[in-house]
Chain A
């Protein structure tokens, strides 16, 4: 149980374009999902907390207008990287949990390369 699916697995886009990443909880409902970014050989960095039916909560230093998060249902959250630049190239990973005391389960991640 507690499977999280993330799509796409990898994407290459040109500077200035936007990219949407989907995160789905397949066998449970998640009122909260979490978006992380990870640069090579570094630890996970929490970008934002996605809340179903309300606005996302962004960590300090993360631009909410650049990283748009929508949590339209109890099983789907999307992250849109707008006007992408090469420095946005990274590994983006979503996660969710069954309840607030349960382990986080991660999607397979999306490797974004901006050329």
Chain B
């Protein structure tokens, strides 16, 4: 079967750093992807990892360990506009995407 797990909600303070974890068990693996989704809007692509290690894109970084079935998204210098849901997705067997339940992040002043 396929299973992706993320924390349901997180809260952090403006200017801080937050790490959103994602664990997965999927049939096949062709990459792990992170998306941001603001309330009432469609998801937007943030970052992805195919190989183990850290990918950095400005204030956002994503890490992958394939052997552990684990990834995290790191958000630095948090801003109020970062309040959103963050979706972890795996491109798995048959190159089909499986999305996690999403983590709702609230950034407080």
Which residues of A pack against B, CB within 8 Å?
6, 34, 43-44, 46, 49, 91, 93, 100-101, 103-109, 111
Contacting pair A104 B97 (CB below 8 A): yes
Per-residue CB contact flags for chain B residues 74-109 toward chain A (1 = under 8 Å, else 0) read 000000000000010101000111011110000000
Which residues of B pack against A, CB within 8 Å?
30-31, 33, 35, 40-45, 48, 50, 87, 89, 91, 95-97, 99-102
Contacting pair B33 A43 (CB below 8 A): no
B48 / chain A contacts, CB cutoff of 8 Å: 103
Number of A-B contacts (CB under 8 A): 42
Contact of B33 among A6, A91, A103 (CB under 8 A): A103
Contacting pair A104 B95 (CB below 8 A): no
A106-B33 CB under 8 A given contacts A43-B87, A43-B99, A101-B91: no
A14 to B: closest C-beta gap in Å: 23
Among A91, A100, A104, chain B packs the most CB atoms within 10 A around the CB of A104
Q: Can you identify 24 A-B contacts, CB atoms within 8 angstroms?
A: A6-B42, A34-B97, A43-B87, A43-B100, A43-B101, A44-B43, A46-B97, A49-B96, A93-B43, A100-B30, A101-B30, A101-B31, A103-B33, A103-B45, A103-B48, A104-B45, A104-B89, A104-B97, A106-B35, A106-B44, A106-B45, A109-B41, A109-B42, A111-B40
B30 / chain A contacts, CB cutoff of 8 Å: 100-101
| A39→B26 CA distance, assembly (Å) | 24
Contacting pair A107 B101 (CB below 8 A): no
